[in-house]
Structure 1
């Protein structure tokens, strides 16, 4: 068994440079070209996955509603109490006057509870023309 394969059997995800430095520390005086040739013959060279570029988002200016109840913003906020118990809040805000229409606080907020909560909210306020959310 050759030295590079002994090193790479122990450390599977190491690349060439880490293997070469380890071999040099073991006392072998081989140059990098010789180690790389053996490294490639053993088919240890791994394909490097490049990061995919994400197209930049175009930011749009937020439109300011000119009437009450035209646009609502919804958001979830997470926090914890003094005894480290985590809870979440579901906030609905009217964008015209920045009034909080409702805040629902619970440890768990499943989707069916949110939909029931929004139905209950529309009994007191009319349906908005637009709803904004973060994602």
Structure 2
């Protein structure tokens, strides 16, 4: 839940010591997908790029059958988890986060602030922060 492809955007979180989580995690029981992803060392961005390249190759009749199978597996997984949150990822978030912990969640290519209270997650939107800050001032 806290492993990310290194990007410039992530530097700010590291510098400010803010925990950044995601819930886009493959269920280890999905052996076929695990094998393909692990053998290619793919991040979400790399997976999308590979799928697009393989789709392009298929359209040009240059792809081999194994690449077509991989592309199909990639596509199915990306479709099932297009919100960048998997059921297994949600379970891991719940397991990893401490009670009353505030973190930034990356989902749907957006950053959200979430808070865990027992087994419930609360998404804190910008307006909530403004309201709280106004009461403090």
TM-score by length of 2: 0.19
The structure richer in strand per residue is 1
Higher helix share: 2
Larger Rg: 1
